[in-house]
A and B are shown apart, each in its own frame.
Chain A
Amino acid sequence: MVNLKIDGRDVEIAKGGTILAAAEKIGIKIPTLCFLKKISPTGACRVCVVEIEGADKPMTACNTPAIEGMVVTTQTEKLHKIRQQVIQLTLVNHPLDCPVCDAGGECDLQNSCYELGVDAQRFAGENLNHADINDWPLIQQVPSRCILCEKCVKVCHELVGASALEVKNKGEAAYIDTVDGKPLNCEFCGSCVAVCPTGTLNSKLFKFKARPWALRKTPSVCTFCPSHCQIDINTQGNEIYRITSDDEGTTNNGNLCIGGSFGYGYVNHAERLTRPLLDQKPVSWDQAFDKIVEGVDAIRSTVGSQALAGFGSPRLSNEENYLFQKMFRVGLGSNNIDSEARFGTLRAMQATETVLGLRGASNLLSAIGKSEAVLVFGADPTAETPAVDWQVQNACRRNDANLIVAGMRKIKLNKFANVSLTCKPGTELELANGISRMLYERNLLDGDYLNQYLENPEELKLHLDAIDIDAVCSKTGVTRAQLEETADLLGTAKTVSIIFGAEITKSARGYEKSIAISDLVILCGALRGGDAGGLFPLEEKGNMQGMLDMGLCPEYLPGYQPYAESRERFGKVWQAELPAGGLDAIGILEGIEAGTIKFLYLAATNPLTFPNANRWRKALEKVDFLVVQDILPTEVTKLAKVVLPGASWAEKGGSVTSLDHRVRSLEKAISSPGEAREDWEVLASLFARLQKQSISISRSEILAEVSSLSSLYGDICFAGEERNRPCLKQPYRPALKGFHYQTPKVEEVETGLQLVSGKSIYHFGSTSTWAAGPLEIESQGVISVSPADAAAAGIIDGGRAKLISRIGTTSGSVRIDPNLAAGLIFAPYHFAELGIQGLFADGCNRIGVQLEKV
């Protein structure tokens, strides 16, 4: 600790702390302009100058570390004059266009002028301001308003890692531009706009739309992905104008991605579903509900409840998913409920549960940032869960962590990696085995730890002894040296985070691959606990964790209580006899095809985004009674008997559970369009009608019921609901002898040209394809092809290509991506027009294809 005196008052601060931080600690306000706590100090504006005993020159408080015995004065005539003159200089050639400036009313420069009483200008200089830059997508840059604080440059480089911006030119001509001088081409996270203290960087979606002071801010949670960043929904009337996030007090530190910053456009979309539809014609809610009940009753009385099925959704809240499964199990007497988790998350969850006794992530996301080594395996955190990307960078940048990025595709995070293990498509299991074997071979296992936690060390030895590194290398395409380096980095780190995602979980062998990674987790000691390291299976859909926690699958009741075993107990509480058995997604699909499933309820789910989409399309066409509850018209709503218009996340309350098990509440900022209703209300009403009784259900009652039924949510309370503070689910702790090493089953991997689908960094499910922001960056699904494969097929960048798999065919425009290895084609799944999911077999993300020029 360091002791110093500021304005005559004693203050103690941790070594390395700045004068500014020390002053803040005792409530002394030193004026600042370019200072931003979450990035390194820049010292550009010089407004925070202070006088230090022993120094002739004024020194800046923001970046001068406090020294033992320092005596600081923050307010003197001389300092005031310097500050005033510096602001005067800042205003030289600064346009006084405050009336039409987007920052007007929330401009730090305005505020500084006001606070420091700068009411006159004595300096003048030739105006060398660069012209406004209007050709960047989504963001406008007005250099004349720039004070060159570099907040945008630093946030982009130090937190987001896109490193898209820099200071160009010298002297008065200096301005912020893209590094390559071309129109901005980045992640479009909007962080630069968010941190800009003036009206230099503006969101084009927001420009000239509203004055900041006229906006109402509703604290809520972004549910585009399960990072669950804390946001403020800025509204006026019944419209969202922008999304902001505070640096202080949020787990995301004020950072957002393109989804958070620019993805809100679909909420106020003109084509929102506003009225219930029956046979595509508007009807009243009563008519719609009556029709559903009538249909259900007819089917139940003729073929029985087993002909009813439904899909819940990660787009719905915990309460809604809870109600959905309860409505099905109690109100409809069917356990045929599932979700898209079947084709991804559930595979990972079943594997981690088997090996580690863990369902979902083992630690908070911040634990990634504090670890000494990070392995990102078959995941693209930038696209799937941007907050994980930021944490990985935190680890590398602030904690000197070593990073290994493994997978078939090179991703953004590769640029920070110490080792890039780019493997042949589909060989992730072999690669994980190779790393495990190398840890073993190089004596990097922690024997004491394994003795304590591993139940079956003999299985481990048996498995690892049998792995041949040379075979691993030839299968995966990585080198022995790379595996050695990986093992050394993982094996010598005290804290390790392992992150895996869609390329693992959504693949055909997703369960086995997840087993192999879970084994590796044991060997690395990633679950040693504490506030650093852990296992983080990624999922890209907002409330996937919460949905599964609520028991939305045939095998689990809420809190992962096994359905068969707990059926009776829940039946008693719910006062109903719960049906035996239950079909999963593929069972439901086959049931529809066989004509045994006659009623299907799709709550915020579009099966046409599932693999083998065309099989699903045919099935949906065949369903006797299709109910679709959604917010936007899709191909699926067009097939529905009854369409129920739901609410977007901004239009309702409810709790959601993040990837790292924080439970937060959504806050209603605007009301739903037309007659559309909050989804939990829709489900509650329908449930009541199915039960033939009037029951009133409130959201807090639902949550109380969840808590009473499952220890998982036992301690959840929303004492600070209005401040939107998260609560934490029961944290994971490995049990002694609780790890069960399992030998993953190895199968032959399909070779030849492979197509893999996945998430774009600019889109989220299919809702963002209705939002102007993401659409401006990526308006259609583009097929990414390696230079070698493109050349072989004679396709040029921007040309069109046809993809043919044994399941289906599609065509689309091509982008040649030098980061893709030859033999691999990537396409995003978001776009119905590209229909890439129609090329895959059930539940797979990868398939052999032919590539042809169109």
Chain B
Amino acid sequence: MSEVIFSSWGRKIVDNRQGQPQPLSELKIKLPAQYLEEGEVKGFIGWDGIILLDRTVDVVAMAAEYMKRVQEKYCCGKCTPGKKGTKVLQDTLARILAGRGQEEDLQTIEDLSLLLDSCKCTLCMTAAIPVFDTVRYFRDDYLAYARGEKTPADGLKYADKLTAPCMDRCPAHIDIPAYIEEIKDRRFDESLGSIRRNMPIPAVCGRVCPHPCETACRRALIDEPISIMVLKRVAADHEWMHHKQPPMLPKRSKGKRVSVVGAGPAGVTCAYYLALEGYSVDIIDMLPEPGGTVAVGIPDYRMPRHLLRRDIKIVQDLGVDIQFNTKLGRDVSLRDLKEKYDAVFLGTGAFKSKPMGVEGEDQGYEGFSEGGINYLRKVALGEPIVTPKRVIVVGGGNTAIDCVRVALREGAEDSILVYRRTRKEMPAESYEVDDAEEENVQFEFLRNPTRLIHENGKVVGVEVVVMELGEPDDSGRRRPAPVPGSEYVIPCDLVIPAIGQDPDLAYLDDSDYGIEQTRWSSIVTHNGTMMTDNEGVFAGGDCEYGAMTVVLAVGHGRRAARTIDRYLSEGKAYLDQEDAMEDVLNNFGVFDKVEETGLVGGLHREHQPKVDGHERAQNYDEIELAMPESQAVAEAERCLRCYRVGMIAVG
């Protein structure tokens, strides 16, 4: 259990140097006790202060090292106070550390720290904050150096990482400020290059990402968050709309082979980064079409199929082979793959619909769909399917919303969504609920199905019970409870349950692979390496996490590719400094939603144009139109470029 000696984090001073250290958890700060195999975490210095967990940490040395790294590794040099100011700070701190400092130097440090408030972005600006703290609260240490009474001796190692609130919140950790700045500079190809460093399917994530990054956007603290997702689409569309060839080239062949199971976001991402590193990658997929859930779970009006195919074609063009209609556990076993390949990545998704638990759902009635995901898949693959006039979809997530909207396009006259809580609690993205409403989807909130009504084995309605919201549950949402005796029947011809999906891990049953599963039947991997209990077998995406987002799957796929590379070249799947610090900071938390920015805003977020609700519900054409590039540039101008550097001291 780490204990705090001193902390200025969040501008709250906790000084236990004279007294008893207190547990770190009391400060609601999360830092690991141990960093990789390099030792205990003894201190942290970053954008909002310093945290000391050990009395032996030399604060002056830590500040000097921090400023050196900020200036030499991260400062972009593109504004005067940043470029020059951090250099003067670095040199001043180094001089003090070398015993050649003077007391006036402390005044220079304080003055410059204030001057850095006028930096162009927050990288150098925030870097001055902890350094200022050290001068203010550890002045004696500085003076001891200046007087030649102290020399550096703590022998600590440091690990640093550049981050930003959006970048940290993005599960794929895309360098968002970089790609936005490149859009601002009208360098769309470069912007796409920055995106591709972490995300190989930008046309997809520029359209259907739930963009958690935007909930961590500092611009929202002064007006509205940046349209981060749409800007990604702009960069991706620019390449496509200009028929440009992507510039990526794989490294020389490493002579090793990796099997990837599943051509969804996780698998494709893993394959992409491995192919770039020079591995020979073969993907198998049970579907006749690439993209996994994106292809068969997200309707074409949100994600045009040709653009999904283009993103994946780019991966194939790097030499990745995809064998379709090949299902793990049916056409090939994991054992076969293990024998044939040097490593295996499982990205098999979550395709099994959860049961609703209502009377009659296991009776095989005509007019009862196996599940929303199955319904969407059949439509997506063009399988023969008849959608009747009145359709009820049960659920409140994105799949449920997709189902009601697809049903309309498939000819339903009434498409009704039944959800047991209210609109506010729906897990679906609120803009998608709005979109559905504009398309004339009907909503029955606070209703829960209790029984299927059938005539001669054919569904004619659903009995529902009225619900009331009670106390909040674990998820913070108010728990719905049925109102006794309020049951009534909503007539319909088709019921589609869409209350969630689980991974189908039946392919692990043919042998004892020793791969641990959770009780939600997802695969367990270890310490962020994405490796399962079976050495050489990795997993990521929905089959590892449970049904989640495309961008999480991308993050998993990329991380797995990095550890697979190390596993295949060094024999060990481990996290490097970059990965480890990514996790340290992600756990620590980068976005401060109550921060006082000291800036004024007043600029509205730019939106991409959208096809009218009635018109779009007639077909599968993309409903959101491309944002003009000049508008994207204006949106990018709003970005505050919230870079910051965190550094831990380890020993």
Contact = CB atoms under 8 A, between A and B. Distances in A.
Interface in B59-83: 70-81, 83
B629 interface: yes
Given A44-B80, A65-B603, A122 B108 contact: yes
Interface residues of A, number: 56
Contact of B600 (A67, A126, A417): A67
B83 A398 contact: no
Nearest to A83: B118
B334 to A, nearest CB: 42
Given A46-B118, A124-B91, A147-B80, A89 B600 contact: no
A90 B243 CA distance: 43
A170 B76 contact: yes
A52 B600 contact: yes
User: Chain A interface secondary structure, helix, strand, loop or mixed?
Assistant: loop
A397 B186 contact: yes
B628 interface: yes
Contacts of B111: 85
Interface residues of B, number: 50
Contacts of B599: 55-57, 59
Nearest to A89: B84
A120 to B, nearest CB: 14
Nearest to A57: B598
Contacts of B119: 46
A171 B120 contact: no
Given A123-B108, A400-B628, A54 B77 contact: no
Nearest to B601: A67
B187 interface: yes
A172 B603 contact: no
A157 interface: yes
B598 A174 contact: no
A54 B223 CA distance: 13
Interface in A38-54: 40, 42-46, 49, 52, 54
A90 B630 contact: no
Contacts of A40: 184-186, 633
B117 A171 contact: no
A58 B117 contact: yes
Contacts of A55: 598-600
Given A40-B185, A167-B76, A399 B115 contact: no
B596 interface: yes
Contacts of B71: 170-172
Contact of B630 (A49, A68, A92, A399): A399
A660 interface: no
Contacts of A45: 79-80
A613 to B, nearest CB: 39
Contacts of A167: 76-78
B637 interface: yes
B72 A171 contact: yes
Given A170-B73, A174-B76, A125 B81 contact: no
A530 B5 CA distance: 72
Q: Which among A45, A82, A154, A171 has the highest number of chain B CB atoms within 10 Å?
A: A171
Interface string A17-54: 00000000000000000000000101111100100101
B79 A126 contact: no
Contacts of B87: 92, 125-126, 128, 171-172
A172 B118 contact: no
Contacts of A16: 634
B602 interface: yes
Given A125-B87, A400-B630, A150 B603 contact: no
B1 interface: no
B396 to A, nearest CB: 38
Given A123-B84, A126-B87, A174 B78 contact: yes
A59 B600 CA distance: 9
A170 B83 CA distance: 8
Interface string B128-171: 00000000000000000000000000000000000000000000
A418 B629 CA distance: 13
B241 interface: yes
A89 B241 contact: no
A90 B84 contact: yes
A85 B118 CA distance: 11
A623 to B, nearest CB: 53
Nearest to A482: B243
Interface string B603-616: 10000000000000
Given A169-B77, A397-B629, 16 more contacts: A54-B600, A57-B118, A67-B600, A89-B88, A122-B108, A123-B84, A125-B84, A125-B87, A167-B76, A170-B73, A171-B71, A171-B83, A171-B87, A172-B75, A172-B86, A416-B242
7 closest residue pairs by CB, A with B: A174-B77, A56-B598, A67-B602, A89-B84, A172-B87, A171-B75, A57-B598
